[in-house]
Structures are given as C-alpha cells and as structure tokens.
A and B are shown apart, each in its own frame.
Chain A
Amino acid sequence: MTLVLEHVDKRFGANVAAQDVSFTVPEASVFGLLGPNGAGKTTTIRMIVDILRPDAGQILWHGIPAHEIPRRAVGYMPEERGLYAEMPVGEHVRFFARVRGLPPGEADANADRWLERMALADMRDAKVEELSKGNQQKVQLASAAVHEPSLLILDEPFSGLDPINDELLRELLGELRAAGTTLVLSTHDLERVEDLCDHVALIARGRVAFAGPIGELRARHAELTRVRIEVEGDSDGLVAALPRADVLGRENGVVRLEVELDGDRDRLLETVMRFGTPRELTVVEPSMRTIFLAEVGQDARAAAGDEQRSEP
C-alpha cells in the first residue's frame, strides 16, 4: 500500500473542494481518478503533490506525509499544459530534471533518454514554440517524468492527443508501470479508464463515491449487467412477458431486445423459449459511464452539466 489519503478536507472560503476524501493507491498500479469537471480531482491531486495543504486529514506516501515526500519521488503533469515557449526543447527537459534535484550529469543523461523515447531527439535545439501541438504535449510529459519518479500523477493526460500520440502515451504508461511506477491518472473520459486502470476512485462534488479495484466496482453493479436477445417467434407475447425490456428493433417476426439480468439467466432463457427461438443471446457488461451514474446519482449528472472550473 503506497499512497494513502485519509479523511482529507479542503475548502476555499465557502466552496468545499474536497470532503472526507479517502482512498488508497497500491504500488505499481494504474489508478484512475474519475469525476466530472469541478468534482475536486485537481484539488485532490494538488494536495497529493503538496501545492495545496489539506485543511484536515492526511496524505501519506509509504508512510511519509505529503509535504515531506522527496521531490524526486513525484512527477506531475497538470491539466493545463504549460511550457517555456522560448526555451530549446533539450534545455527545457533538462531544466526540469535539475529542478527536481538531479545532478548535472544525470540530468543530461535522463533528458537525452526521454527525448529519444519521445521521438524528439532531432528537435532538441528547436524552440518549444516551434513544435507542433502533439510534440509540445510530449515535451510536457517528458518534463513531468524526466526524473523518473516512483509516483507519477497525470491530470487529463489524453486530452488533445491525436490517435498516434494517444497510442504512444498508452505504450509509455504500460512501460512505466512495468518498471514499477505508480501512476495516478485523472480523467473525465470514463470509457478510457476501462482498459487502462486497475484501481479507481469516483469523485463527485468533492466526495469519494467509490474507491477500490475496478473489478470490485463491477461486482457492485452486477445488477446493471444486461442481456441482449434476438428471438424469432411470438414477439408480442415475449415483449408482454418482459415488461422491463427495451425493444431495440422488430421485423418479420424477429425481435431484438435488451433486458436487465435479474439474477437468474436460466429463468430468462425459459421465458424466451416459451415465445420463440433465440437466435442470439449476449451478456452486456455495464459501461463505466452507467456505473458512474449509478454510483454518484443524479446529483453528479447535474454537476457534470455545469462545468465549474473555479478551483484555485
């Protein structure tokens, strides 16, 4: 158990940004911090990287309080990207290595390695502002991770990436994780989480709605699993027998419908067989979006609607 948040509170005047936030990020995991804009993700992250101090509660990394974590151990890429536009790319990355406390030789070596890894090596002497947007994003990531931290926190890392760089980042995250880096990603892109993260925390309105392994989250919402059936036969009778089913389509005596898997699959199949012959039967796992909405309720849906971005 590496990064632990315990009952963390943070308010700005009357505005509550985080309330009783607790979760645990296991070592070498990819941890997704999910929530709509304004939910408190950025505030939570800023407290982890000790830009902000919590009003109450504590944040521990291997048992060390957040403000005492060695700076070399943590890397952070903010949601709002920022670079020194007029600096040459190589110097830019090296500067961030030096600021994190790497000695000159090591800073040079790490900067070179990251430029190589990001396919930026031949742009070393170009000014940052001369690069394409995608390449600037890569400079940003290289600058955030050049000191090879054991905890790397990325706020909305995928926003604004084209498919090629998206893939590059995905590979890179895989490599970092394999090397033992603990990754915390914040995102409001829920579908993204499913194939990247193994642990998640759902945040809405400054509170944690769920925190734990993604499998556990799924298990909690097994009732949201639905079954899609295509049946040939007495479609009217079948629809009448399954009042909660959504009819997706009907033609020439074939009906396609989706229904909640209320516990027993056999009973559902029995009902179907009474009215016709099933041509297809698929179990549909709930999407992250569905689960998220079930966890945080209508409240969060409203919050997601008005995009508050006033977290200082």
Chain B
Amino acid sequence: MRRDRVATIARRELRQRLRSRSFQITTAIGALAIVALFFLPAIGDAIENASTDHVAVVDRPAGVATALQRALPERVPDGKPRYDVLAVRDAAAARRALDAGRADAVVQVGPGLTSATIRAERVSDGLADAVGRALNATAVRERLRARGVDDSGTVFAPVKLQRQSTSGEISSQSRVLVYALLLMLYLTLLLYGSAVATSIVTEKSSRVTEMLLTSVKPAEHLAGKLVGMGAVGLVQYGAWLAVAAVIYGVDQLAGGGASLDLADVPAQTFVAFLGFFLLGYALYGALYAGLTVGASRTEDAPALGAPLSVLVMIGFFISLAALDDPDNSVVAIASLVPPLTPMVMFTRVALGSPSVIEVVGAIALVLATIALALWLAGRIYRVGILAYGQRLGPRRLLRLAREG
C-alpha cells in the first residue's frame, strides 16, 4: 500500500465532492437546521415581544395602575416599554378603550388584591404570565407594606438558579442536544456510507477503475475512496461546527438571548460525537464498499447495501430509547455490539454513565470489526471491482476471491 497513491485518490474524491451540488446543498441544509435549532425559540419570542402591548387597568384601588407599570419594566428592542399601562376610571372606560383599540387588554383587580381578571380578544400566554407576575409582585409588596416592611429594592431581587444534573437526572436541554446530534450521526452515517458505495459503483460502471487499476492496487483504491469520503464528512462537520460556533459566540456576546444554552453540556459530548462518527463511518464505509462493489450499475448498489441501512436504523432506534434510560441493560448490551456501538455508545457517553471499561471495550471491538471489514472488503474488492455482467452478491465474490 503506497500512501502517495492513496492520497492522490483521496484528494481527487475530496475535491470533486466539495465541488458537487449535492454536497453544497446538504451542507446548507445542515447549517440552516443548526441556525433553526438555536434561534427558533428565540425568534418566536422576538416576534411576540417586538411590539408594545397596551394594557388598560381599572385604577381601583387607586395607585394599582402605577404599581403594575412599575412591576412591568420590560422594554422592546427599540427602547419603548414592552407593556404600556393605561389607567382608566372604571370598567366602562376600560371597555371603551378596548373597543376603540387604544388597549389590547383590560385588567380589573378584585378586592384586597386577591383576584384579578384579564380580558382581551385573545389572551396570549406571554401577556397573562407577565401581568400575573406583576400582579403577584404588586400584591406581595402591598401586603408587606401593610405589615410595615418597606420595599428597599432588595426584597424582590431575583435568585439566580444554577442547574447541576447528576448523571441520573438528565436536563431536557442536553437531551434535546443529544437527540439532535444523534439524528445528525444517523443521517451522516447513512449518507456517507452509501456515498462510498455510490462513488465506487459509479466509477466502476463508467469504467474509469479499469484504467486506474493498472497503477493503483485495489486495496489502495478502496483506502483512497474511504479516506477521501471521510475527509468530505469532516469538512462538512467542520463547516457546521463553524456555523454553530459563530452563532453561539455572537449570541453570547449579545447576552445569550438564544434559547440553547451550551454552558452545561460537557465538551466530551462533542469529542465523543466526532469520535463515534469516524468509527461508524469507517465501519459502515468498509461494509458498504464490500457489499456493493459487485454491482455493475449504479442502480444496483442500494439494494445490495440495504441490510446496512437497516443496521444503522436499528442503532438509531435503540439510541432513541436510550435517551430516557441510557444505562438500561438492553441498551448497555447493544452498545457493545459493534455495528450498533457508534450511535448507542455515543448516547450512553453523552447522557448515561458507562464505565471506562465498557467504553474502551466497545471502541476496541469496533476497531477490531473495522479491521476485519476492511480486510474482507479488500478481498471482495479485488474481484468485484472488475466483475461486470451479472449482479454479484458478496458471498459469490468472497468465493471468487478465495479461488484467486
């Protein structure tokens, strides 16, 4: 195996792929998905919070309108108050304000500040929450004052809550993130595994390989294809990572308005993600290559590769189940089955608490399986890459390979 020839083939594969429309489109879609993941909740908020809501408050007991306005300090981005409280004399005046469109909602407080109604054409959750919070604060403040406690401003200073999950408890935030990463892993393993197959069979059916094989050994060709396509995957992930980093950085500088908070996601999740992608890709790439190299036409490749798609899918579904219970014994066993390891063990590492021995053992098993798959694929490849005519399954090719 000559490294320079492998590199030449890998470089060509990488360069052609990066230029291809399909790569650019999948990268763009992935980047959009990342942006959406970050911003969709924030965008929803922003749309709702972009304008001022006018709230008519029946000012009885007197001063309640002023107190409410004080308890609603939020501002819209251009600096105007988010909630504009309009004091009115009575319910009739309030209704007139509502009908005339001067107010979006009407609030009337019951006696003793123990109840209140908010009325609007449609009462949104956001508005009801805000008004509710403001009313509570106002009521508590009034009751304290009645008992002689003066509000010096510190009474209502908010408490900052920090979340620290021990392994048993999984925050919904990190579960969402792991789910998103898992979905990505699943899609890219399928995408890149079958891309290896398509690339080999396309090249074979266009008969370029025959000319190539006078200068390159089949094993070198296979290695070049796998390395090249893997590099494409890394470039794509790099691009997505860069997009995510830029968004996250900008968002943090702007005060962390976006909803996804990565502060409590350990770095090992991302390291594990990349590591398991590479392991999974190497395994499935080699298997796809070995299973489909006998196809003479591009159309035949998917049928030959179908069993692998099923395997990837099984790994994905077990991982989905593992999101809730990552250290369940079935999940633990599945994480040690090499074809399932990349996704299932990733989920366990990210959310559960597998022992070091389990993780190292699973990785060792995958590496051994990759070595075996590469060896088998190399043997099949030698025969399959030149076999035209009938559609040759892997079993037939293996027999031919044994015969020489």
- Contact residues of A with B, CB < 8 Å? 46, 49-53, 55, 71, 74-78, 80-87, 91, 95-96, 98-101, 143-144, 310, 312
Contacts and interface: CB of A to CB of B under 8 A. Distances in A.
Q: Nearest 6 CB-CB pairs, A to B?
A: A82-B207, A82-B208, A80-B207, A49-B214, A71-B215, A78-B210
Interface of B: 4-5, 8-9, 12, 15-16, 19-20, 203, 206-216, 386-389, 404
A82 B12 CA distance: 16
Given A84-B208, A85-B206, A312 B404 contact: no
B305 to A, nearest CB: 22
Contacts of A143: 211
A99 B206 contact: no
Given A87-B16, A312-B387, A312-B389, A99 B207 contact: no
A143 B206 CA distance: 15
Given A86-B16, A86-B20, A95-B12, A101 B207 contact: no
13 contacts: A52-B386, A77-B211, A78-B207, A80-B210, A82-B208, A82-B209, A84-B12, A86-B16, A86-B20, A99-B5, A100-B215, A101-B4, A310-B389
A130 to B, nearest CB: 15
B211 A78 contact: yes
B84 to A, nearest CB: 61
Q: Binding site of A, secondary structure by majority: helix, strand, loop or mixed?
A: loop
A99 B389 contact: no
Contacts, number: 66
Nearest to B2: A101
Given A84-B16, A310-B389, A312-B386, A144 B211 contact: yes
B188 to A, nearest CB: 22
A74 B214 contact: yes
Contact of A82 (B206, B214, B389): B206
Given A83-B206, A95-B8, A99-B215, 5 more contacts: A75-B214, A85-B206, A99-B9, A312-B388, A312-B389
B216 A99 contact: yes
A300 B79 CA distance: 95
Contacts of A144: 211
A77 B215 CA distance: 12
A82 B210 contact: yes
A98 B216 CA distance: 11
Contacts of B214: 49-51, 71, 74-76
Given A74-B214, A86-B20, A98 B208 contact: no
Contacts of B213: 51
Contact of B212 (A53, A80, A87, A99): A99
A120 to B, nearest CB: 17
A82 B215 contact: no
Contacts of B215: 71, 96, 99-101
A96 B209 CA distance: 11
Nearest to B216: A99
Contacts of B207: 78, 80-82
A95 B208 CA distance: 12
Contacts of A52: 386
A308 to B, nearest CB: 11
Nearest to B387: A312
A136 B206 CA distance: 13
A123 B160 CA distance: 67
A100 B215 CA distance: 6
A180 to B, nearest CB: 20
A82 B385 CA distance: 14
B211 A76 contact: yes
Given A51-B386, A84-B208, A85-B206, A99 B16 contact: no
Nearest to A85: B206
Contact of B8 (A51, A86, A99): A99
A307 to B, nearest CB: 14
Most B C-beta atoms less than 10 A away, residue of A55, A75, A98: A98
